[in-house]
Amino acid sequence: MSTRQDFPRSLLLGIVALGLAACGPAPEQEATPPLQVSLMTLEAQALTVSEDLPGRVAALRSAEIRARVGGIVQRRRFEQGSEVKAGSVLFEIDPAPFTAEVDSAAAALQRSEVVHARAALQVERLAPLMRAEAVSRQAYDDAVAQRDQAAADKAEARATLARRRLDLQFASVEAPISGRIDQALVSEGALVAPGDSAPMARIQQIDQVYVDVRQSAAALESLRR
């Protein structure tokens, strides 16, 4: 009889013991390591803004070699791709027609000088006769007019001779600037004229060069801001 009464009591004590065990302190958990952080000290400094732009290298100066008189090219006097000096002869145009024109202009000048000298002498002869009333004033005025006309003809003949000599000089085509010359665009035997659309050659001065860089106006204004 006592055994049956003790069993519930033992069961109750076991439950109480389990409850007390559950209310005990929890087991200690592993501590989380501290976070690693980086520190940086900021300083004010200038910011350089850069941008890559396409560019093109251009010669400092360039010149197209063109004929100033018409004629047949007789000779090329430079090596293609070589350095040339300003004033050096690059091409020779047949000078024979220009030489003949110089001779003709010289003869015309000589003829006009003779006419002018004769007219001037006539005025000197008529001057005292006109003062002595041996000849009319009209005759003297006509002689003066002929002298002045002969002087004008002589000046025109002199200018024509200078022009013909200049044409003869232009038969030797010279380099206007110093630099590197490209390939010849005409050969011996070619007929050239001042009005030709294509040049005879080109010279570029490349001891100093330009670099052309393209940038839009909007982007340039943004960079300035």
- 225: CATH: 2.40.50.100
Asked if 181 and 166 sit in the same domain, the reply is: no
**Is 147 exposed, middle or buried (CB count within 10 Å of its CB: 0-12, 13-18, 19+)?**
buried
Asked if 147 and 205 sit in the same domain, the reply is: no
Mean pLDDT of the chain: 87
* Predicted pLDDT at 3: 47
Q: What percent of the chain has pLDDT over 90?
A: 61
Q: Please, are residues 171 and 98 in contact by the beta-carbon 8 Å criterion?
A: yes
Asked if 124 and 215 sit in the same domain, the reply is: no
Segment 19-36 mean pLDDT: 63
Asked if 106 and 83 sit in the same domain, the reply is: no
* Predicted pLDDT at 133: 86
Asked if 106 and 165 sit in the same domain, the reply is: yes
Asked if 117 and 141 sit in the same domain, the reply is: yes
Give the predicted TM-score (pTM) of the model: 0.67
Provide the domain count of the chain: 2
Whether residue 42 is contained in a domain is answered as no
Query: Would you say residue 24 has pLDDT above 50?
Result: yes
Asked if 141 and 77 sit in the same domain, the reply is: no
Range of the domain at 130: 95-170
Query: Would you say residue 52 has pLDDT above 90?
Result: no
Instruction: Give 84-109 pLDDT, tens digit per residue.
Output: 999 999 999 999 999 999 999 999 99
* Predicted pLDDT at 70: 96
Segment 42-54 mean pLDDT: 83
Asked if 162 and 102 sit in the same domain, the reply is: yes
Query: Would you say residue 120 has pLDDT above 90?
Result: yes
Segment 8-27 mean pLDDT: 55
CA–CA–CA angle 79, 82, 85 (5° rounding)? 100
